[in-house]
Amino acid sequence: MIEFDEQERRMVLKLVYYGPALSGKTTNLLRLHDLLSREGRGELMMLDTTDDRTIFFDLLPFFLVAPSGLKIKVKVYTVPGQVKHDATRKAVLQRADGVAFIADSRMAEGGNNMASFDNLEKNLAYVGLDIDKLPLVIQFNKRDLPEVVKEEELRSTWEPTGIPVIMASALEGWGVVETFGTLAELVYANLDQRHHLGANHGLTQQEFVQRLTTRSNE
Amino acid sequence: MKRRPPFVVGAEKRLTDIIGTAEVTPLLLGAVKAGAASAAVLAPEGDVLWEAGKPCNPAETKGSIPIVLEGEPAGSLVVSGNGAGGDAVKGIAAITHTAVQTLVNASLKRILTTEIHTSVVNQSYKELLEINKSLSASEARYRELAATLEKKVEERTAELQRAHTRLLQQEKMASIGQLAAGMAHEINNPLGFITSNIHSLQKYTARFILMLDYYSSLLASDPACERLARLSARKWEELKLDSICADIDDLIGQSLEGAERIRKIVSDLKGFSHVDDTSEGIVDLNAEIDRTLSVLEHRFPEGTDIVKNYRELPGFRCNPAVVCQLFVNIVENAIEARGKGLRLMISTFVNHTAITVSFADNGPGIPEDMRTRIFEPFFTTKEVGSGTGMGLAVVHEIVTGYEGTVEVTCPAAGGTIVTVSLPLQRKNDVALL
């Protein structure tokens, strides 16, 4: 039950898709499930919903084995975006190894994005995680819709923070795998510093990311 | 390796954590009923977890189908036949696998739901307890506030009244001070030339007398002027110059004494009003009491006897104008308490923490039912218009300003004793004046 168990030779990673209500977190996971190869990927588990709104979380697990025999499980969770489910968000965010913040690109949603990001900062602090050290990417979703904030504007706002920014349309299926891949890269870099995945387990960053993001042939 | 806290939800689980004998065995028995010789679920290491039919040989895992938990092979299903009908066994194995895998998925989902639900309920309960705690605390605070509100209002009102008293008194003293300063200036000018002229006059008259003596000695020494001398002596007697010459010195001396007294009164009045110094300083309280007494002297009733019983006092840090106000209010009360034959005994002494000053008069004392109210502003026993009701309120205000105490007692033998105690060390700076 620890992140890295030398005896059992396994490692469990937790990635969390965070963001305001209806920004497309579940849709991101659905697309990942559809787009990525079945190899090493578990089934998407959607816990009970009401009116198609997440009330607990969704879980998409991945499993891979490093050349050294180290078993690595990557569990990707979504949180419920609605304000009232804050207790659930805290529980899901606990022990996260990386966060993808899914923002809604529409102009009218700027306020909700900021509120949710503030909530993320607050809840990370609550569960004892440092937002400055945690791997974090931001996806501006729903680029297929009209009346979205211009890409240059978003980039000029967010890129100075050093947080990777990815444009996406989960509905159309683009930008989704890139978001996941970018987060995986950051998580690997973070882990490699502590556990030397490359040196001790023969798993390179490129290989790690590629194993997680192999597209389905179907 | 730093240990991290366990996952609140989604901790790693083994197959045996997810499904149990009661759920799996019926499925395996179903496979046997459908025609398989044996059906078993094995752990990843090959141990038999559950089985039905003939005992399964863990070594014979050929044709086993993996059971996946969160994408990871967590065990396998082995179904073997009786030798014949391989396809049928395959079919049975496929159906049984689907059933077991579906059972695993459904159970995991149920377990995760329970975990997150429990976690949220626990956390919400914890938060509710905290909210309840802070609400209870705030309720208690408001209850206390409501209960003490009336008392607080009374306290504040009294405070305001005292501040008002102080302001009134300060204003009064300020105008008296200005008046005194103006008068002192106006009086001192003529007083200066009066004193100086009297001194000159004293010198001049001395010369006149010397001259007169000279004349009479000349006349007496010359016998030719005998008649003249006799006439002069008669006139001298007629004019009573003997007693006049004797009286002149006394007259002039008394005039100079009177002028000196005027000078002293003016100077005391000026000093008492402290128009020239309004800031704190180190003050000898004995001297301030004397100053106060000299200013009030004209108001002492006939036959007043002031008994001073002073001890040497250390310097007291205060505003001298303020302590003069303090003493004047106490002495005025004593004066008003008794007509003829006032006897006022003033004692001062010091111990290592405070200076104590007491004023004991031989007046009628204060009736017991009034004693609790005497420090209230505007409380007066005098007729309307004659008293302000501020005297002891001001005393109380000044003394508490210096963190001291004031006590009024009326001994059975009669009279009133006002005892003021002023600490030498103070916690706060005084905001008076």
The tens digit of pLDDT for each residue in B154-202 reads 888 888 887 787 777 667 766 766 777 777 778 888 888 899 999 999 9
Given this model, what pLDDT does residue B383 score?
57
Mutate which of B2, B9, B131 to disrupt the A interface (most A C-beta within 10 Å)?
B9
Tell me the count of A-B CB pairs closer than 8 A: 80
Mutate which of B7, B69, B102, B124 to disrupt the A interface (most A C-beta within 10 Å)?
B7
Given this model, what pLDDT does residue A62 score?
94
Q: Report pTM.
A: 0.59
Q: Between B10, B116, B127, which is nearest A88 by CB?
A: B116
Sequence-distant (6+) residues with CB within 8 A of B243 are none
A68 and A60 Cβ atoms separated by less than 8 Å:
no
**Which pLDDT band holds residue B283 (cuts at 50, 70, 90)?**
confident
Contact criterion met (CB < 8 Å) for B112 and A59? yes
Query: Nearest-CA distance from A62 to chain B in Å?
Result: 6
Query: Nearest-CA distance from A42 to chain B in Å?
Result: 4
Q: Residue B189: exposed, middle, or buried by beta-carbon count in 10 A (0-12, 13-18, 19+)?
A: exposed
Q: Between B8, B71, B105, which is nearest A94 by CB?
A: B8
The rounded mean pLDDT for chain B is: 84
Phi-psi region of A114 (alpha: psi -120 to 50; beta: other; left: phi over 0): alpha
- List, in sequence order, every residue forming a beta bridge with A64; answer none if it has no partner: A72
Contact criterion met (CB < 8 Å) for A14 and B10? yes
In this predicted model, what pLDDT tens digit does every residue of A113-135 receive, in sequence order? 999 999 999 999 999 999 999 99
What does the alpha-carbon distance between residue B97 and residue A137 come to, in Å, rounded to a whole number? Answer: 39
CA quadruple B62, B68, B69, B73: dihedral, nearest 10: 50
What does the alpha-carbon distance between residue B284 and residue B144 come to, in Å, rounded to a whole number? Answer: 47
Q: Searching chain B, which residue's CA lies closest to the CA of residue A79? A: B116
What does the alpha-carbon distance between residue B195 and residue B211 come to, in Å, rounded to a whole number? Answer: 25
What does the alpha-carbon distance between residue A167 and residue A175 come to, in Å, rounded to a whole number? Answer: 6
Query: Nearest-CA distance from B36 to chain A in Å?
Result: 29
Q: Enter the ipTM.
A: 0.89
Query: Nearest-CA distance from B93 to chain A in Å?
Result: 21
Which residues in chain A are contacts of B5 at CB distance < 8 A?
94-95
Query: Nearest-CA distance from B407 to chain A in Å?
Result: 60
Q: Please determine, for residue A138, whether its predicted confidence score (pLDDT) is greater than 90.
A: yes
A25 and A81 Cβ atoms separated by less than 8 Å:
yes
Query: Nearest-CA distance from B131 to chain A in Å?
Result: 15
The tokens describing B307, both together, are 């008994």
Contact criterion met (CB < 8 Å) for A94 and B109? no
Given this model, what pLDDT does residue A151 score?
94
Contact criterion met (CB < 8 Å) for A1 and B6? yes
Q: At A5, phi and psi to the nearest 5? A: -115, 110
A73 and A109 Cβ atoms separated by less than 8 Å:
no
Q: Between A12, A45, A87, which is nearest B12 by CB?
A: A12
B113 and A47 Cβ atoms separated by less than 8 Å:
yes
Contact criterion met (CB < 8 Å) for B9 and A92? yes
The tokens describing B163, both together, are 């501040």
Which residues in chain A are contacts of B119 at CB distance < 8 A?
87, 91
Sequence-distant (6+) residues with CB within 8 A of B38 are B32, B51, B52, B53, B54, B55, B56, B78, B79, B80
**Which pLDDT band holds residue A208 (cuts at 50, 70, 90)?**
very high
Given this model, what pLDDT does residue B390 score?
60
